[in-house]
Amino acid sequence: MNFNQFYSKKVLEHIRHPKNMGEIKNPDGVATVGNPVCGDIMRLFIKVKDNRISDIKFQTLGCGAAIATSSMITTMVKGKPLFEAEKITKQAIAEALGGLPSTKLHCSVLAADALKRAIENYRSNK
């Protein structure tokens, strides 16, 4: 597999230099989602202030696309109001990454799902 042809430049950039990677101690919301198709696991931590995502971090065990989609979603929603963050779709994540190979589109589903559930977790904790 030639990774430079398989993945877009943006995807490779996020894999090599992931943004917002790590853990938030005492998060306001957290969710762990697993992909039964391939075995990838993604965890998102959020801090919420004035109904905005004030901080977000990810941890991912998965392929390049899983790492890139988690990294990308954190940059897309950091600082955004919850109602806007919730609207992020799997297509929007893939587009922001300059596209994903068709066999990897399910990774963006995983990222969108993780965020939705982290926000739900925040609301149920309130």
Partner 1 sequence: MKKIYLDNAATTPVSPEVLAAMEPYFTNKFGNASEPHFWGQEARKAIDEAREKIANFLGAKPKEIIFTSCATESINLAHKGLVESIKYKVSSTKCPHIITSLVEHKAVLESCKHLEKIGWAKVTYLLVDKYGVVDIKDIKQAIRPETVLVSIMYANNEVGTIQPIGKIGRLIKEINVSRVACHLSPVYFHTDATQAIQYLDCNVDGLGIDLLSFSGHKLYAPKGIGALYIRSGVPVVRQQDGGGQEYNLRAGTENVPYIVALGKAIEKVSSIKYQVSKRTKRLRDKLINGVLKISGVKLVGHSNKQVPHIATFIVEGAEGEAMLLLLSDKGIAASSGSACTSGLLKPSHVLTAMGYKPQEAHGSLRFSLGKDTTLKEIDYVIKVLPEVIKKLRKMAPKLI
CB of 27 to partner 1, least distance (A): 13
* Distance, C-alpha 124 to centroid of its chain: 20
Asked if 70 and 35 touch (Cβ cutoff 8 Å), the reply is: no
Which class for 28: exposed (0-12), middle (13-18), buried (19 or more C-beta within 10 A)? buried
Q: Is 63 known to be catalytic?
A: no
Secondary structure E strands in the chain: 29-34, 41-49, 52-61
CB of 71 to partner 1, least distance (A): 9
Interface of this chain with partner 1, residues 50 to 79, rule: CB under 8 A: 59-67
Which member of 20, 28, 42, 93 binds partner 1 (CB under 8 A)? Answer: 42
Q: Among 107, 111, 112, 119, which one carries the catalytic annotation?
A: 107
Q: Among 15, 21, 38, 105, which one carries the catalytic annotation?
A: 38
Q: Compute the residue count for the chain.
A: 126
Is 81 one of the binding residues for partner 1 (CB under 8 A)? no
Is 91 one of the binding residues for partner 1 (CB under 8 A)? no
Is 105 one of the binding residues for partner 1 (CB under 8 A)? no
Helix (H) or strand (E) holding 125: helix 105-125
Binding site for partner 1 (CB under 8 A): 1, 3, 15-16, 18, 21, 32, 37-43, 59-67, 103, 106
